[in-house]
């Protein structure tokens, strides 16, 4: 039995992609023994996977600097045949492992970290370009040592020059089916409804448009003339100040329910909230960091047959049109009269998504990729 160790610094050990998708998928093969190292969180109950939760630390702290070395300690202890890292913070440690133990190393690229550092407002502006260049320099330098790359988005094959000519697999974040996987009956129509439930889930940030979502629902209600649309904000906010700003923005708005926490929300709770909603909101602001990306929430909505209201995104347009999966709006300048008319008259999901939006479609590819590297 060959060991495969998957590691992150900030992602919890119960992370949906790292544990529930990649980890559990590989653990289904009796040839593999799976180990996961990640940020401290509730450890899932399973005998198939071994966990090493890291100590808790703040995003900006001395402990975070130590975390990659704690990961390496676990890797050297377990001596896996394959070491999969999910962040650029572990590039050096992965290469050191390869040098010492001659194992295979894979970089699971979940984000274009260069663009994130350059265009997202998660760090002080003067540091944007410096940190972006530092990340890209690390990736370019260490890339030749890696045996393969997993890409969470198709667009990364174009955006990331350092992976050219290397073994890679596009492994998208499609919907992970579970025992309670119950797609909505179709086609979907809302005419005659006196109340409409909308949900915003996942990362709560300015770039992801949560403030625009609040204003959007408020505008719909003004157009209707009564408390027609209700909004649930369920997600994780990395910064306490921004979470407080959201709470303040929603003060006095009885049609908004805020459920924001300082740690990632379990995926099961997000899916439950989506299944109860009439629409999933994807109000992402125009940002080069998100250019060409397909959010996991979009795959989830497609699989569950829940219509979406999304900002314009060329990557989503083909599926929106093919399945009649929702509508595109300009969240900064919404045409409320037209939007309300569509909500009252449009029929959604007249054509249904199939396995192409499910994680099960990715499994066989992942097995083949790992076996080829071994």
Q: What is the pLDDT along the chain (374 residues), one digit of tens a residue?
A: 899 999 999 899 999 999 999 999 999 998 899 999 998 888 887 889 999 998 765 666 666 788 899 999 999 999 999 999 999 999 999 999 999 999 999 999 999 999 998 888 766 667 788 899 999 999 999 999 999 999 999 999 999 989 987 799 999 999 998 766 789 988 999 887 889 999 999 999 889 999 999 999 999 999 888 778 999 999 998 888 888 989 888 988 999 999 998 888 888 899 999 999 999 999 999 999 999 999 999 999 999 999 999 999 999 999 999 999 999 999 999 999 999 999 889 999 999 999 999 999 898 899 999 999 98
Same domain, 348 and 227: yes
CATH number for position 18: 3.40.50.2000
* Amino acid 196: pLDDT: 92
Same domain, 199 and 56: no
Same domain, 201 and 308: yes
Question: Containing domain of residue 16, as a range?
Answer: 2-173+360-373
Query: How many domains does the structure of the chain reveal?
Result: 2
86 in a domain, yes or no?
A: yes
Same domain, 292 and 342: yes
179 in a domain, yes or no?
A: no
> Could you tell me the strand order of the sheet in which 49-53 lies?
49-53, 32-39, 2-12, 82-85, 104-109, 148-151, 168-170
Same domain, 238 and 295: yes
180 in a domain, yes or no?
A: no
Cα–Cα distances (Å) from 360 to 5, 201, 235, 303, 355, in that order, read 21, 23, 26, 12, 7
User: Strand, coil or helix: what is 324?
Assistant: coil
Same domain, 153 and 224: no
365 in a domain, yes or no?
A: yes
Same domain, 110 and 235: no
Burial profile 93-125: b = 16 or more Cβ within 10 angstroms, e = fewer = bbbbbbeeeebbbbbbbbbbbbbbbbbbebeee
16 in a domain, yes or no?
A: yes
108 in a domain, yes or no?
A: yes
Same domain, 194 and 334: yes
What's the number of CA atoms in the CB half-sphere (13 Å) around residue 46? 19
Q: Which of these, 248, 257, 284, 249, lies nearest to 199 by C-alpha position? A: 257
Same domain, 164 and 255: no
* Amino acid 316: pLDDT: 96
CA distance 267 to 265: 6
Same domain, 164 and 264: no
Same domain, 36 and 104: yes
Same domain, 116 and 204: no
Q: What is the DSSP letter of 127?
A: G
182 in a domain, yes or no?
A: no
181 in a domain, yes or no?
A: no
């Amino acid at each position: 039995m060959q060991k495969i160790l998957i590691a992150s610094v900030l992602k919890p050990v119960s992370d949906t992609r790292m544990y529930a998708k990649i980890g559990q998928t590989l653990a289904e093969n009796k040839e593999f023994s799976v180990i996961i190292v990640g940020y401290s969180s509730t450890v899932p109950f399973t005998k198939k996977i071994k966990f090493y939760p890291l100590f808790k630390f703040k995003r900006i702290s001395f402990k975070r600097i130590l975390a990659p070395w704690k990961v390496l300690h676990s890797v050297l202890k377990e001596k896996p045949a394959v070491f999969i890292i999910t962040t650029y913070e572990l590039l050096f440690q992965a290469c050191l492992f390869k040098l010492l133990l001659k194992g295979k190393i894979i970089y699971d690229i979940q984000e274009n970290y260069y663009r994130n550092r350059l265009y997202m407002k998660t760090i002080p502006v003067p540091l944007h370009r410096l940190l972006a260049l530092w990340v890209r320099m690390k990736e370019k330098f260490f890339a030749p040592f890696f045996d393969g790359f997993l890409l969470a988005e198709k667009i990364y094959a174009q955006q990331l020059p350092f992976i050219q000519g290397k073994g890679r697999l596009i492994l998208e974040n499609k919907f992970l089916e579970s025992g309670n996987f119950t797609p909505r009956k179709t086609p979907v129509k809302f005419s005659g409804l006196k109340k409409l439930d909308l949900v915003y889930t996942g990362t709560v940030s300015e770039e992801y448009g949560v403030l625009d979502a609040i204003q959007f629902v408020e505008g719909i209600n003004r157009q209707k003339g009564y408390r027609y649309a209700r909004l649930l904000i369920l997600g994780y906010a990395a910064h306490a100040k921004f979470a407080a700003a959201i709470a303040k923005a929603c003060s006095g708005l009885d049609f908004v329910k805020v459920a924001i926490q300082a740690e990632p929300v379990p995926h099961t709770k997000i899916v439950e909230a989506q299944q109860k909603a009439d629409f999933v909101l994807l109000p992402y602001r125009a940002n080069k960091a998100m250019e060409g990306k397909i959010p996991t929430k979009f795959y989830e909505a497609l699989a569950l047959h829940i219509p979406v209201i999304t900002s314009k995104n060329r990557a989503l347009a083909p599926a929106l049109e093919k399945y009649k999966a929702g509508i595109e709006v300009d969240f900064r300048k919404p045409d409320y009269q037209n939007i309300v008319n569509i909500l009252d008259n449009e029929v959604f999901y007249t054509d249904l998504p199939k396995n192409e939006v499910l994680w099960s479609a990715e499994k066989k590819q992942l097995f083949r990729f790992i076996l080829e590297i071994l």
